Amino acid sequence: MAEIQAERTAAPPPVVFSERSRLVEGVRAYGLIVAMWLRSTMAYRASFVMTTVGNFVSTAFDFVTIMLMFAHVDVLGGFTLPEVALLYGTSATAFGLADLVLGSMDRLGRRVRDGTLDTLLVRPVPVLAQVAADRFALRRLGRITQGLLVLGYALVTLDIAWTPVKVLMLPMMVLSGAAIFGAVFVVGAAFQFYAQDASEVQNAFTYGGTTMLQYPPTVFAKDLVRGVTFVVPLAFVSWLPALYVLGRDYPLDLPRWVAGLPPVVAAGCWVLAGLAWRVGLRSYRSTGS
């Protein structure tokens, strides 16, 4: 008995950790979890190669559809094939990036249903980062590859009078576009705290949105164009900056300078997305369902 008493030691003091900004903590945690998923994926190397190729092929069919259309007509809504390819390439690449980084967030609904979200809530890192990194799938590079190929084809075939602004416009629109789509993913995920099967609604805006942006705005009804400009600002992903690069008219008689707005719109979207996420998580923690 005396021996046991002697062996009994006080619990060691808690691990000291410095308070870091939540953003830094979140990005770090995201990286850690993504690394785990990459290792998990590599446990099934053959399956990874197959799904990446499959992902590339299935998204490539989108563009094949457009090419088939152009086998019968020379212009679509006043746009030639290379011009449509520019719209397609920027939108597909932007969406591909967002899908790679945040695309698995629609699994949140399932985690809420089966209660596994609780295991994320007891860890010392932001939940948003953990949910965003959940089931990270490198196979989504297939979509980005395909988008970049189409974009490359457009840039080679198009005869554009390049200016420094137009050159800068390309990376700006792809990155801001990815950020806008990303914000939509986060809002969609936040909505799943309330309705666990809401991922279809979100898909309408993300997958549906990217398909729409791959066509020129002139083929759509005015109200729809108005909706994706002012309500869900997807028009800023590719339409407006791409039309600027092409030197074409904007829909809705918007002024020329709106082509420079995507970074501002993206920042605004992220503020809203962050708020939506906080409200959603708070609601989950007060209802637990």
Partner 1 sequence: MDDMDFIELDGVEKVFDVRRKTGFMRRERREVRAVDGISFRVPRGEMVGYIGPNGAGKSTTIKMLTGILTPSGGRLRVAGIDPSRERTKLAHRIGVVFGQRTTLWWDLPLRDSYRLMHRMYRIPDSRYRENLDRCVELLDLGALLEVPVRQLSLGQRMRGDIAAALLHDPEVLYLDEPTIGLDVISKAKVREFLRDLNAERSTTVLLTTHDLTDIEQLCKRVMVIDHGRLVYDGALAGLHEVGESERTLVVDLERELPPIELGSEPSVRVVKVEGPRQWLAFPASASAAPLVARIAAGYPLVDLSVREPDIESVIAKMYVSDPAL
Beta carbon of residue 286, minimum distance to partner 1 (angstroms, whole number): 5
Q: Which long-range contacts (CB under 8 A, 24 or more apart) does 155-158 make?
A: 155/86, 157/82, 157/85, 158/82, 158/83, 158/86, 158/246
Residue 221 binds to partner 1 (criterion: CB under 8 A): no
- Residue (of 181, 95, 108) closest to 142 by Cα position: 95
Cα 127 to chain centroid, rounded = 18
Give min distance, CB of 195 to partner 1, in A. 12
Torsion over CA: 101, 193, 280, 21 (sign): negative
In angstroms, the CA 10 to CA 177 distance is: 55
Which of the stretches 37-45, 185-193, 208-216, 250-258 binds partner 1 when contact is defined by CB under 8 A?
Answer: 37-45
Name which of residues 60 to 119 contact partner 1 (CB under 8 A).
Answer: 115-116, 118-119
Which of 49, 121, 165, 219 is in the footprint of partner 1 by CB under 8 A? 121
Q: Which residues contact 16 (CB under 8 A, 6 or more apart)?
A: none
- Residue 126 binds to partner 1 (criterion: CB under 8 A): yes
Helices (H) and strands (E) in the chain, counts: 13, 0
DSSP 30-63: HHHHHHHHHHHHHTTHHHHHHHHHHHHHHHHHHH
Q: Which of 1, 2, 4, 231 binds partner 1 (CB under 8 A)?
A: 4
11 lines the binding site for partner 1 (CB under 8 A): yes
| One residue of 15, 24, 73, 221 binding partner 1 per CB under 8 A | 15
Instruction: Rank residues 121 and 271 by Cβ distance to partner 1 and give the closer one.
Output: 121
Nearer to partner 1, 14 or 247 (CB): 14
Least separation in angstroms between residue 14's CB and partner 1 is 5
Does residue 33 interact with partner 1 by CB under 8 A?
yes
156 binds partner 1 (CB under 8 A): no
Of 75, 58, 63, 98, the residue nearest 234 (C-alpha): 98
Residues that bind partner 1 (CB under 8 A): 4, 7-12, 14-15, 17, 29, 32-33, 36, 39-40, 43-44, 115-116, 118-119, 121-126, 282, 285-289
